[in-house]
Structure 1
Amino acid sequence: MLLRWRRWRRGRPFWGGLITVVAGVEIAVIPLAPMKVMLHQGVAGAGSVLLGAVMVVMGLSAWFAPQYRSLAGILTAMVAATALVLSNLGGFLIGTVAGVIGGAMLFGWQPDAPPSPHPSPQPSEETV
């Protein structure tokens, strides 16, 4: 079972998705304060929860559909930058920085190349 987990994890942008999900949860949870505080925030709290939910969905989509990792990475970085302005400085800057890093990791991840069926011959070094 551990071998299946490792194979699954290495076949997709796991760490970028994890950082993105954590950043989204961090941005979404901060405005979920007690009801008295939420009434003072008004509609701004709903936007923070929505931005955090979008980031969580992007992280999960990179895990379960790695072919969309580039789109998920770009959208994650854009939403994290938007959260800086719309959501308590992007989760007190921690969520925004983590979101941009996670988005960059999603965008930059490349799957391992499958092993070639015929190994190419190595050029021999000639000694002169």
Structure 2
Amino acid sequence: MLLSPWQRWRRWRRGRPFWGGLFAVLAGAEICALPLAPLKVMLQQGIAGIPSVLMGIVMIVLGLTAWFSPAQRSLAGVLTTLIATAALVLSNLGGFLIGTLLGILGGGLMFAWQPHAAPRPSPEAQPAAPQSPVPPQSAAPTQSPTPTGTTGHPDPQGAQP
């Protein structure tokens, strides 16, 4: 089945924390760009320009990490939130608060995102098991089809559907 470019884009976007990564990239660009602005915009830059640029670049990299390596979304989300909060103090009020707010929102969205689990078969689709004449209190516990400690889908972080 051939998918249109729009359908491929939607499938790619839904398979990762897209909006969290986008907000992190925008926050990083905001924090990174302000120290590079003309002197009329920035009254005093001083040594604060170096951490601002570095924090912005790290936030952009974390946003891209969430897009291209969704398994690392939790770490990227927590680090994005911490860096955005630190930028409030270290980088011109975190890009005049815009960068900090976008970074906190993006980090939270990255951390909270969960992949879609594979749909489970409905009980009607499974054949009925033969009824045992043994009373329920003396029946032995049955084994579940999923081994203990697995979640039933390939998410390495163990997210439940």
Task: Assess same fold via TM > 0.5.
Answer: yes
TM-score (norm 1): 0.87
Percent of counterpart pairs with the same letter?
62
Structure 2: which 5+ residue stretches go unaligned? 126-161
Normalising by structure 2, we get a TM-score of 0.70
Residue 42 to residue 19, structure 1, CA distance change in 2 (3 Å): same
Q: Once the 2 structures are TM-superposed, how far is the Cα of residue 44 of structure 1 from its aligned partner?
A: 1.1
User: Which one has the bigger helix percentage?
Assistant: 1
Deviations 1:55-79 (A, max 9, x none): 0000000000000000000000000
What letter corresponds to residue 98 of structure 1 in structure 2?
A: L
For 1:82, the equivalent position in structure 2 comes to 86
Q: Which has the higher contact order (CA 8 A, sep 6+)?
A: 1
Give the aligned partner of residue 99 of structure 2: 95
Aligned-residue RMSD, C-alpha? 1.9
Listed as ranges, the gaps of 5+ residues in structure 1 are: 123-128
SS at match of 1:30: helix
* Counterpart pick for 1:57 among 49, 55, 61: 61
Task: Provide, for residues 1-28 of structure 1, a one-character-per-residue CA deviation record: whole Å limited to 9, x for no partner.
Answer: 1111110000000011001100110010
For residues 63 and 25 of structure 1, the distance between their equivalents in structure 2, rounded to whole angstroms, comes to 16
User: What displacement does 1:115 show?
Assistant: 1.8
Q: Larger Rg: 1 or 2?
A: 2
Equivalent pairs, count: 120
